[in-house]
């Protein structure tokens, strides 16, 4: 699985990148054949309380799963995105198993 983390409007710390890597590694246990995972972290302007946005895109053959959330911390936004994509993957697997 290839992964790419992109920080927009700021420099991501090593701790934040390690946190992202740890969270997205869960996807490998859920589904086989992941081509790549793209994560973008962005500071939204103007400054508001939920000014940290995270987006995650997981690509498998013929399907992309995507989630984007804005929260007060990047960790919270990443957690919400990971949860949303986990639900999408489970739903996709159920759909495939019915065929």
Using the predicted structure, report yes or no on whether residue 57 has a pLDDT greater than 70.
yes
Q: Confirm whether pTM is higher than 0.75.
A: yes
Q: Count CA atoms within 13 Å of residue 14 on its CB side.
A: 0
Q: Which domain holds residue 34?
A: 2-98
Dist. CA 81–CA 85, nearest whole Å: 6
Average the pLDDT over 72-81 and give the result.
96
Pair type for strands 2-8 and 36-43: parallel
Number of domains in the chain: 1
Q: Can the peptide bond before residue 46 be classed as cis, meaning omega within 30 degrees of 0? A: yes
Could you tell me the CATH number of the domain that includes residue 12? 3.30.160.100
Dist. CA 98–CA 18, nearest whole Å: 37
What are the tens digits of pLDDT across the range 23-51?
999 999 998 899 999 999 998 877 777 78
Using the predicted structure, report yes or no on whether residue 99 has a pLDDT greater than 90.
no
| N-terminal to C-terminal alpha carbon distance within the chain | 27
């Amino acid at each position: 699985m290839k992964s790419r983390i992109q920080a927009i409007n700021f420099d991501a710390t090593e701790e934040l990148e390690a946190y992202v890597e740890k969270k997205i590694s869960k996807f490998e246990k859920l589904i086989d054949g992941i081509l790549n995972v793209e994560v973008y972290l962005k500071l939204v302007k103007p400054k508001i309380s939920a000014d940290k946005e995270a987006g995650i895109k997981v690509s498998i053959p013929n399907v992309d799963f995507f989630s984007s959330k804005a929260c007060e911390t990047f960790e919270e936004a990443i957690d919400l995105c990971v949860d949303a994509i986990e639900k999408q993957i489970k739903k996709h697997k159920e759909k495939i198993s019915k065929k």
